[in-house]
Every structure is written in C-alpha cells, then in structure tokens.
C-alpha cells in the first residue's frame, strides 16, 4: 500500500505514509477528519498528537467496519484487515475524494487517480454501459469509461475477501429524523452555526485556498461567511482570494455585475476568467498535450485549462472552495410539489388544499392543475421509472435501449426499499444528482485542484434534510431559510437577486453555427458509428433540426459530439500525461493478490 502525501491542511502533515498496528491492520488515508477530537476522546487518544490515520485504525479496532459511518469529513481510504485478510475501500458521504478499483482473476488494484490504473496495463476496453448512459444522459454511478475499472460510490465501502466484492452503504441521503423548533429564529440559529462550521472546516490553516465567487447566493455566502469569521476579532485579518468566471457573449451570464458588488464590499478584487461558452470548436483535443480520461473535452478545453493553470495554479493555490450543492439542499428550485406530495400521501387534505392554493397563485395555475401535478409527482416518486424511448435521442442505437431500461431501474441505490415522505425521497434523489456533477470527478491535465464543498458538509446536509420543507422555501419565496439567516452577512443585492437558473444560449448557438461542419463528423467512419452506438443518418437529421430551431435534443446531441471527439483524441492511445506528481493531490494506491 502506498500514500502520496499532500499537505493541504494543518493536520495533513501528520499523515506521510500508510500506518499499521500490531494486529496486522494497515490503513492508507487521504483527506481530512473533521470530528477527530470527538473520535479521539472516545478512543482514548490524544487528539493533538494522533494523526487521522491513527484515529481510523483505532476506530476499526474498536468498531470494525461500522467505523466508516462515524467519520465526518472529506476522505477516502484503503484499509487492510490483517486478521481477516479483507480489504476495505471507502469514500466519505459525498465522495469528495475519488477512489477507483479494478479486479482481475488474481488481484485487486486501486488508486485515487483513474490515470494510475489506466497506465498500469489493466484492460482499457471501453465500457458500452458507460457509453449508453453517457449518450442517454443517465447517471453513471460507479461506471467509468473503462470496462474493467469502477469507482467506489460516495457514502459506501467495499469489502473484498476471497476474490469477492460486496458493496455496503455507511451513509444515506434519505434522512428519516425530523427536527422541529418552535420559532424561525431557532432554525436560523442552528443553520448559521452549522454553515459557519462547514466553512471553517474547509478554510483552516494550511495551503493557500481560493474561493469561487460566481455572483450567486451560494458562492457569495461562503466567501462572506469566511470574511465574517476572520474579521470578527481582527478587522484587518487576511481574507480569502477569489476566482470568478464570466462570459460577455451570454446575456444571462453577466456575473460581473454581481461578483463586483461583493468584491467592493470586501475591498479585494479577485481573479477573473472568461469561459467563452460560445466559442466551441467541435474539434478533437490534441492528444499530444495529454489525454483526458473522461469524455467532454474539445480542443478549446485545454486552452481554458492553460488559462487556469497560468493565472491560478502557478500562484500556489491548491484548494478551491466551491458553492456546488447550495441549490439542491437550500431550496433553490422553486417548486412545492415535494411538500404537497407529503400532504397527499399522508392524507393531510386541509393542508394540501390550503398550500396548493398558495403555490397556484405563484404562477397563476388553476388549483385543479396543481393538485393533478401533485398526484403525478407522488406517483412517480414511488415508481421505478423506466426510460421512455420517445424521450431518448432518436440516434441512440436500438441495441442500447434494453440496457438503458434496466439501468434506469437500478439507479436509485435502494432509496425505495423503505417507505418515506416524498420530500425526503426527493432530497435523496437530488443528492445523487449532485454526486454526478462535482468538478473533481473530471480531472484536468495540467493541475489537480483539491475541491472543497461547504454545502455538502455532512452535519449541515443532515440538518437541512431533516427540518420541515416549509422552512427551506415557501410559495413565491425560494431560499427562505437562507435569506433570513444570512441577511446580516451577505449583501442584500445578492440575496434578493433573481434565480441564476437560465438557458445557456452559447452552446446552442455554437451548435447551430457549426451544424454544416458537424455533418462531416458523423460519417460511417465515425467511431460512435463504427461501434454501433448511434445511427449516423438519425444524428445528421438531428443536426438539421437544430439548424431549423428545434432544440428538443440539443443536450443529447452535445453528448454524441463530445463522445466522438473524445474517442478521436484517445484513439492513438498516447502516453498519458497528468499533473506533476510533486504537485498532485494526495493519492492512495496498491495491489492485493
């Protein structure tokens, strides 16, 4: 077992190598334990002197595999149980560290980085299951583009013994506990306390941290909370640097107006990067620059990455604070259907009608229509939804469709094995949608930032998923709790701005402008056509429809294009180029025969 250290926080310098105990247990730990003091006290250890690895191995001695559920923080680990000759691979509740594995007849290999497994001679055959889900825009869960390589799921651990692998959940987003307070002030106080803790956990002493500042409520709240904590005792305290993205070609992406408000209040201007959403080239990335291991890149991607590398990475930043997850856990999507479904399922007829009236008034929908939507939402929540062939892009191979029907039924990861309130199930499904979009899942070539996600903090998420939904949002008032609780910390112009959800016109415009050129991309020699994954005639017809203004399948069309471009880039299988090992994040890897 091996560990490549990455001292990004104060305690990480204590974990320089895998550690073993006298029983023959060995642990290789990557990350940060936020509840190390509590665990150390329970285990009789000196919290200041014991590393996170020591705490983990002592916890395993005490609680065996149930110990994984006790760990709070951002982590991934490999743990070898010597007495039982069992290997455990585990990730934290949100999967903030990647962990991949490959099993052959005689051995199991694992690594933090996908690159390490792809480079070690493991079969690199492309996964058709992955390709099918990618083209159909379905969640990937534990799949990678490579048939023999899988990932450990967030909130899960694998037990590997006698050549068999079993998967077990140690945390679930389906929170069953309910927290009820007597006043809104109590909800606000608890939220602010946990949010402050989530930010503090990810902004403590260590390597330089860069905070994303988009101009929206989520990233701005993180930056403002960090400033508030640092300046409480010292008005001249050092505050975080920020990184903001903008695109002048997108009318709905004019973020400079908003992140400039926060910069002015802070008295500090951050780094600004133009992301050029419209300037898609639809040309394959030059594999001589290095190979992207996940589809999605074109030859503009590397130019953007170079800009990030030169303006951010070379200045010494290694950790990035991200506001991802705020929309999903704090009521950024203004719909009352989950809560109305709760009232319907539990026969609370009076509350259902009263609140349905309130939600109907928001968009002036007839009450009967709101109630009908509630009934449909309730029904769908408790069903294993199958893939509707009519909603799939018509160019997807017919031989993929049976597999996609099966895939859809297996994506909910046991959420429906027990009865629950529709709003709780909705929270859990939203959680798994976040797990698919986190930026650390899509590794760069020139750099490997460590991403930190305050809104995905375990304690904060469990609280937000256990309080009444009416505290999170109300008819005509999204982010109800957040706006109240942070009113004295976050600028009012940000808290009261209209929702940032918008239709990006740039990619769609780029598709229309390049439609004629793209016709030549999908000839019979195209990789996706030769492999039988798509029908070339149907796809070219889809390009014509886009040019005529039919946008029904434009996102699916982008998926087909990026998959073809990725296959063209990786077709020559060049030597993989990744971040400089001396600059890369911590990684754990090894082989067990």
Q: For 439-487, what is each residue's pLDDT tens digit?
A: 999 988 999 899 999 999 999 999 999 999 999 989 988 899 999 999 9
Percent of the chain with pLDDT strictly greater than 70: 89
**Pairing mode, strands 73-81 and 86-91:** antiparallel
Q: Does residue 503 surpass a pLDDT of 60? A: no
User: Quick one: average pLDDT of 132-155?
Assistant: 93
Name the nearest CA neighbour of 378 among 345, 355, 347: 345
Element (H, E) at 89: strand 86-91
pLDDT confidence of residue 401 = 79
pLDDT of residue 278: 62
pLDDT for 411 equals 56
In which residue are the tokens 């690199």 written? 124
The reported pLDDT for the residue numbered 154 is 97
293-334: pLDDT as tens digits: 999 888 888 888 999 999 999 998 989 999 999 999 998 888
Residues in the chain: 593
Spans of all domains in the chain: 2-127+140-174+584-592, 184-327+450-495, 337-432, 505-570
52 is in an annotated binding site: yes
Residues 184-327+450-495: name the CATH superfamily.
Answer: HUPs (3.40.50.620)
The distance of Cα 45 from the centroid of its chain, to the nearest Å, equals: 34
DSSP state at residue 47: T
- Tell me if the pTM is above 0.85: yes
pLDDT of residue 57: 97
- The alpha helices in 365-457, defined as continuous H runs, are 367-381, 401-409, 422-435
pLDDT digits (tens, 9 = 90+) for 551-583: 888 889 999 999 999 999 876 444 444 444 334
> Lowest-pLDDT range, 50-54, 74-78, 494-498, 507-511?
507-511
CATH for the stretch 2-127+140-174+584-592: 3.60.20.10
532 φψ region: left (φ > 0), alpha (ψ -120 to 50), beta (else): left
CA distance 577 to 287: 9
In the DSSP assignment, the letter for residue 259 is H
Of 163-167, 420-424, 490-494, the least confident: 420-424
Residue 287 binned pLDDT confidence (cut-offs 50, 70, 90): confident
Statement: residue 417 has pLDDT above 90:
no
Residues contacting 376, CB < 8 A, separation 6+ = none
| Residue 360 to residue 383: CA distance in whole angstroms | 26
By percentage, how much of the chain surpasses pLDDT 90? Answer: 56
Q: How far is C-alpha 589 from the geometric centre of its chain's CA atoms?
A: 22
Q: What is the mean pLDDT of residues 180-205?
A: 96
Q: What is the signed CA dihedral for 224, 225, 228, 229, rounded to 10 degrees?
A: -150
Residue 337 predicted with pLDDT over 80: yes
pLDDT digits (tens, 9 = 90+) for 515-544: 878 888 888 778 999 999 999 999 989 888
Helices (H), 514-583: 515-519, 527-530, 536-547, 554-570
d(CA 249, CA 510): 11
Whether the per-residue pLDDT at 280 is higher than 80: the answer is: no
424 near 174, Cβ under 8 Å? yes
Task: Please give the C-alpha separations between residue 389 and each of 136, 248, 394, 401, 402, in angstroms, as whole numbers.
Answer: 10, 38, 8, 8, 10
Mean pLDDT of 53-68: 97
Contact 226, 239 (CB under 8 A): yes
Render pLDDT for 339-349 as a digit per residue (tens, 0 to 9): 999 999 899 99
Give the tens place of pLDDT for each residue, 150-171. Answer: 999 999 999 999 889 999 999 9
Q: Using a CB cutoff of 8 Å and minimum separation of 24, what contacts does 54-62 make?
A: 54/19, 56/27, 56/29, 57/19, 57/20, 57/21, 57/25, 57/26, 57/27, 58/21, 60/25, 60/27, 61/21, 61/23, 61/25
Task: Express each pLDDT in 209-235 by its tens digit.
Answer: 999 998 889 999 999 999 999 999 888
What mean pLDDT, rounded, does the chain reach?
87
Q: Which of 67, 61, 64, 76 is CA-nearest to residue 20?
A: 61
């Amino acid at each position: 077992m091996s560990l490549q250290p990455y001292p990004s926080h104060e305690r990480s310098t204590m974990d320089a190598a895998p550690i073993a105990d006298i029983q023959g247990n060995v642990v290789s730990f990557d990350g940060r334990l936020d509840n190390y003091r509590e665990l150390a006290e329970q285990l009789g250890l000196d919290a200041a002197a014991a590393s996170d690895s020591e705490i983990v191995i002592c916890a395993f001695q005490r609680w065996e595999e149930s110990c994984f559920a006790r760990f709070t923080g951002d982590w991934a680990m490999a743990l070898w149980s010597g007495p039982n000759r069992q290997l455990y691979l585990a990730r934290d509740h949100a999967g903030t560290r990647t962990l991949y594995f490959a099993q052959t007849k005689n051995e199991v290999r694992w690594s933090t980085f996908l690159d390490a497994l792809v480079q070690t001679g493991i079969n690199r055959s492309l996964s058709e299951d992955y390709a099918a889900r990618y083209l159909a825009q379905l969640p990937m869960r534990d799949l990678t583009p490579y048939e023999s390589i899988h990932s450990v799921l967030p909130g899960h651990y694998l037990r590997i013994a006698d050549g068999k692998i079993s998967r077990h959940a140690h945390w679930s987003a389906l929170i069953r506990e309910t927290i009820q307070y007597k006043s809104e002030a109590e909800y606000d106080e608890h939220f602010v306390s946990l949010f402050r803790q989530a930010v503090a956990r990810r902004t403590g002493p260590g390597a330089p941290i860069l905070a994303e500042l988009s101009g929206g409520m989520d990233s701005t709240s993180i930056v403002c909370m960090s400033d508030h904590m640092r300046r409480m005792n010292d008005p001249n305290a050092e505050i975080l640097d920020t990184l903001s993205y903008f695109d002048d070609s997108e009318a709905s992406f004019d973020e400079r107006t908003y992140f400039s408000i926060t910069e002015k209040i802070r008295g500090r201007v951050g780094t600004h990067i133009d992301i050029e959403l419209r300037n898609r080239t639809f040309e394959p990335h030059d594999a001589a620059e290095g190979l992207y291991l996940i589809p999605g890149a074109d030859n503009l991607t590397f130019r953007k990455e170079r800009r990030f590398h030169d303006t951010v990475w070379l200045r010494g930043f290694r950790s990035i604070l991200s506001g991802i997850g705020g929309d999903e856990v704090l009521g950024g999507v203004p719909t009352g259907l989950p809560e109305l479904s709760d009232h319907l399922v539990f026969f609370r007829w009076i509350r259902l009608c009263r609140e349905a009236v309130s939600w109907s008034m928001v968009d002036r929908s007839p009450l009967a229509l709101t109630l009908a939507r509630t009934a449909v939402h309730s029904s769908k929540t408790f069903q294993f939804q199958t893939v509707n062939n009519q909603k799939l892009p018509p160019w997807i191979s017919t031989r993929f469709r049976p597999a996609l029907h099966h895939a859809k039924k297996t994506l909910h990861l046991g959420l429906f094995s027990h009865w629950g309130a529709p709003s709780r199930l909705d929270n859990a499904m939203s959680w798994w949608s976040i797990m698919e979009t986190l930026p650390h899942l899509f590794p760069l070539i020139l750099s490997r930032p460590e991403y930190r996600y305050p809104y995905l903090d375990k304690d904060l998420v469990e609280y937000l998923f256990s309080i009444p939904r009416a505290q999170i949002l109300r008819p005509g008032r999204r982010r109800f709790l957040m706006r109240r609780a942070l009113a004295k910390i976050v600028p009012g112009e940000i808290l009261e701005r209209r929702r940032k959800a918008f239709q990006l016109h740039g990619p769609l415009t780029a598709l229309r402008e390049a439609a004629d050129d793209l016709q030549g991309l999908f000839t019979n020699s195209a990789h996706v056509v030769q492999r039988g994954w798509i029908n070339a005639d149907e796809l070219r017809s889809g390009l014509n429809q886009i040019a005529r203004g039919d946008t029904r399948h434009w996102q699916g069309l982008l998926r087909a294009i990026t998959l073809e471009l990725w296959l063209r880039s990786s077709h020559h299988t060049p030597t993989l180029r990744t971040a400089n090992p001396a600059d890369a994040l911590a990684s754990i890897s090894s082989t067990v025969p």
